Amino acid sequence: MTPVLEFRNVSRSYKKGVPVLKGVSFSVGEGEIAGLLGRNAAGKTTLIHTAMGLLTPDGGSVRVFGLSPTEHPVEVKRRIGFVSEEQVLPPGSTVAELIAFHRYLFASWDEGLERQLLERFALARGSRIGKLSKGQARQAALVCAVCHRPELLLLDEPA
């Protein structure tokens, strides 16, 4: 069975000779849950961004659903839900507009789950993203990340 997420000997540096990732290898299978634990600047976000295809490894390979996230970005991202602490949402948009955009992108959108999460989080559809607290903005991002029922959910300090 092909792993959902696989890193093989992945290396990545931002400054020459100063590796952030050095020979990272592991895989995550379907139905498994994995957490990345480590001190600040240990490379956790770099690893997640590499899995998303936002960064290219200097060495080694990354496969998501058996595909390279940099060579097949649309196919990979279509199957992933992603929330990052640093994620920037459009401040002038409302929660409803943000959701409508994601609903347009993902044909598998689950409106029942959307209603359930908005109610649980007490997020008003008419609220402007720029007026939400940091926690509420992460909740809106989480709604967008999970309501298309992704096969892989990547959370980078979403709380």
Tell me what percent of the residues of the chain surpass a pLDDT of 90.
86
pLDDT range class, residue 136, cuts 50, 70, 90:
very high
Mean pLDDT of 24-37: 93
Which residues sit opposite 11 in a β-bridge? Answer: 59
Burial class (CB in 10 A: 0-12, 13-18, 19+), 122: exposed
Residue 47 CA to its chain's centroid (Å) = 11
pLDDT of residue 154: 94
Mean pLDDT of 58-83: 95
- How many residues in total does the chain contain? 159
Distance (Å, whole) CA 129 – CA 51: 27
Ranges 56-70, 76-90, 108-122: which has the least confidence: 76-90
Q: Does position 109 have pLDDT exceeding 90, yes or no? A: yes
Mean pLDDT of 129-139: 94
Tell me what percent of the residues of the chain surpass a pLDDT of 70.
99
| One-letter amino acid of 93 | S
Q: Does position 159 have pLDDT exceeding 90, yes or no? A: no
The 10 Å Cβ neighbour count of residue 139 is: 22
Give the tokens for residue 96. Answer: 């409803």
Identify which of 26, 20, 22, 23 has the alpha carbon closest to the alpha carbon of residue 7. 26
pLDDT range class, residue 102, cuts 50, 70, 90:
very high
Phi, psi of 147 (to 5 degrees): -75, -10
pLDDT of residue 17: 82
